[in-house]
Structure 1
């Protein structure tokens, strides 16, 4: 997963049909576990860009996107959020969720 800031993220989302953004905070233990699961799922979708960002550096976006907690996975299609995921139940659950968004593009 590529670490991105707001400006870089905006540029990337304008050029990608589908993209995943993982939001976290460094002191969040659950976020570390979620990241490990996402790293596995990322390997299953080599054609989809996966980004990560520390939400502490994006307070405006946290408000705009109505982020309720971390970890959070945002699935974008044509620059628009198609799904928000807060519960990272399993690798299979993440895989199926991303696959569903990908199929409906």
Structure 2
């Protein structure tokens, strides 16, 4: 994600991606492309969401660098937020209507 100062945090490259997903019991992965305006707006929402879920690790990657995984995960567009539980994809979101909506959707999917 991007903090208020514009610094990228938790960016992950394709070499680390699979290992991180397998080793984290729970994580969110944000997929974007750098020139996508909607992706930039979604990222701003996710910065807030990330603060509301301090125990959920958030990562991001440019989908252009992970074409094999994009096909495997059947990603049809960006922005896209993936939720992984115990190494398996548990959910996928393409719509980011509001911070409240995204919060409620994530809250409903997180293991208790």
TM interval, shorter chain, is: over 0.9
Task: Kindly report which structure 2 residues correspond to 1:21-40, keeping only aligned pairs within 5 A, or say none.
Answer: 21-40=29-48
Equivalent in the alignment of 2:67: 59
Q: Runs of 5+ in structure 2 lacking a partner? A: 2-9
Equivalent in the alignment of 2:58: 50
Normalized per residue, the structure richer in helix is: 1
Q: Runs of 5+ in structure 1 lacking a partner? A: none
Per mean C-alpha deviation after superposition, the further-off stretch among 94-103 and 19-28 is: 94-103
**TM-score normalised by structure 1 residue count:** 0.94
Is 1:76 the counterpart of 2:104 in the alignment? no
Q: Structure 1 residue runs of 4+, over 6 Å off?
A: none
How many equivalent pairs are there? Answer: 104
**TM-score normalised by structure 2 residue count:** 0.88
Distance 2:32 2:86 in 1: 23
Equivalent in the alignment of 2:105: 97
| Matched position secondary structure for 1:103 | coil
